[in-house]
Chain A
Amino acid sequence: MDKIEIQDLDLFYGNFQALRKINLRMKAHEVTALIGPSGCGKSTLLKSINRMNDLIENCHIEGKILVDGKNIDDEDVNLLRKKVGMVFQKANLFPMSIYDNVAYGPKTHGIKDKKRLDEIVECSLKQAAIWEEVKNDLKKSALALSGGQQQRLCIARALAIEPDVLLMDEPTSALDPISTAKVEELILQLKENYTIVIVTHNMQQALRIADQTAFFLQGKVIEFDRTQKIFNDPKEKKTRDYITGRFG
């Protein structure tokens, strides 16, 4: 069974149709990259998987998304989001200490035991490869960290709720090349334990980290295949034009 299955998904913002008949399947422990020019609907699709679009007024969805074979609309939205974590384009840490940021998720889901929380925080920070940098400053404000550290802390925060799936919305677009490399390396490690869907504008990034890639254009999936196939031998001319930089 596929981890995530998107079936005939249409999405409307008011009268504007942002996504048209999307069909995608994602296997567990694989990285799927969503690429395409700005406004093509890739972020919108990403946000549909953990129902963040519910927060947007006038957003209307038809079709189905299944996670572990279950329709996400039938699930409690907060439990769904515990299973499907998310990292945003811009690091959005809370104005709290590093510790409290990471502990916020587990506390939300009912973990009160201080020792257990300490373990989760340490484990999440280690998984996000930031433990060594912050282990002595856990009580310090998270907002004092550098941009790259903040984004890895966001990843740690998302991991702390022990999700199965990790959605990443252009997580490196605001980072310098070194921080970007660190996050990419991290994604490759995380894939052992998580299913990852990542939106990226950076074609090289998709090529480096993704097992499969979907190319979006104007709300439609133009081509969806193994990453190597998409980049080396795309079926569609539009895909070829985009990845060779002829538009976008």
Chain B
Amino acid sequence: MNNTLKENMARSIFMMAAALSIVAVLIICIFIFSNGVPAIKEVGLFHFLFGISWDPEHGLYGIFPMIIGTLVVTAGALVFGVPLGILCAVFLVFYCPKKLRPKVNVIVNMMAGIPSVVYGFFGLVVLVPFIQTMTRTNGMGVLSASILLAVMILPTIISVSQTALSSVDKSYYEGARALGASHDRTVFKVMLPAAKSGILCAVILGLGRAVGETMAVMMVAGNQAIIPFGIFSGTRTLTSHIAMEMGYATDLHRQALIATAVVLFGFILIMNGIMTLVKRRMCHE
């Protein structure tokens, strides 16, 4: 076989692989839009997005409570997860004894591999009862879901921030130390800001994971289809909303759930858009 032929074959194999993944995404898009959009039309876009009650038996299909639920729980996860994750990455890169770092990283990577249902189970048997006894509420709700999600996005935030921090030019460190700055000051005033675009990337990836997470949230959030009224209030996210009802839904109910996936899809698109924008702006600075 001559080389040109070999090269052409290799190229077509790679092209097929690339095409296949793109086709998969396209098919998913077509599926959810073709099944979801009619339901949105029937319910009415405004009523669907901003309707505050979800009651399929009475023909009410408002997903506003779930949108708020998703936003609140995700925000909560970021509030707990982001500072913790970034500080952990800072520790690993700038403070950790050299021998310890790979060991900690093994554990961090292991955290990323634990199935989400296991996290959910942990939340259910440890976190929820703890919050129950501490606050005399039923324990399932925004706070539990946020804390649990925070733990779940930690590995993403830690490892991406760590990469960002270690790839900061070492000469910045020397430069700052030569000006008489202490190690701490150099780390927090020079190295950390220098890694900000990479760290932002870590936050957005964590955000993506938090928005998409279904199972664990479902197990600890209480799942009432109501707008959460406090941090101990039960809540339901878009993803768990779909997962919980899809099993028995039919007709318009079923279509409305698929339409919920359209909204979720929109969420992810907006997030990616923001990330691209922010990244571009940072590069131009």
Interface residues of A (CB under 8 A from B): 50, 52, 55, 78-82, 85-86, 88, 90, 92-96, 104-105, 108-109, 141, 154, 157-158, 161
Contact = CB atoms under 8 A, between A and B. Distances in A.
Contacts of A108: 176, 179-181, 185, 189
A140 B116 CA distance: 46
Interface string B178-205: 1111100100011001100000000000
A96 B193 CA distance: 9
B190 A88 contact: no
16 contacts: A52-B178, A55-B177, A78-B180, A80-B180, A82-B180, A88-B174, A88-B175, A88-B178, A92-B172, A94-B176, A95-B193, A96-B193, A104-B189, A105-B180, A108-B180, A108-B185
Interface residues of B, number: 18
Closest A-B pairs by Cβ, 9 of them: A92-B171, A81-B180, A92-B175, A86-B178, A82-B180, A105-B179, A78-B180, A108-B181, A95-B194
Nearest to B98: A57
B174 A55 contact: yes
Contacts of A81: 177-180
A95 B197 CA distance: 12
A85 B189 CA distance: 19
Interface of B: 169, 171-172, 174-182, 185, 189-190, 193-194, 285
A146 B273 CA distance: 33
A168 to B, nearest CB: 11
Given A96-B193, A141-B285, A90 B171 contact: yes
Contacts of A78: 180-182
B169 A92 contact: yes
Contact of A94 (B175, B177, B182, B285): B175
Contacts of B190: 94, 104
Nearest to A154: B175
Nearest to B185: A108
Contacts of B181: 78, 104-105, 108
A70 to B, nearest CB: 16
Contacts of A93: 175
A94 B185 CA distance: 14
A241 to B, nearest CB: 34
A81 B181 CA distance: 9
Nearest to B173: A55
A88 B179 contact: no
Nearest to A50: B178
A104 B174 contact: no
Given A94-B190, A104-B189, A108-B185, A79 B180 contact: yes
Contact of B180 (A92, A95, A109, A154): A109
Contacts of B169: 92
Contacts of A50: 178
Contacts of B177: 52, 55, 81
A55 B185 CA distance: 15
Contacts of B180: 78-82, 105, 108-109, 161
A108 B172 CA distance: 15
Contacts of B185: 108
B41 to A, nearest CB: 49
Contacts of B178: 50, 52, 81, 85-86, 88, 158
Nearest to A55: B177
A104 B176 CA distance: 8
Contacts of A85: 178-179
Given A105-B180, A105-B181, 4 more contacts: A86-B178, A108-B176, A108-B189, A161-B179
Nearest to B285: A141
A79 B64 CA distance: 59
A116 B171 CA distance: 28
B52 to A, nearest CB: 47
Contacts of A92: 169, 171-172, 174-175
Nearest to B191: A94
Which among B177, B180, B190 has the highest number of chain A CB atoms within 10 Å?
Answer: B180
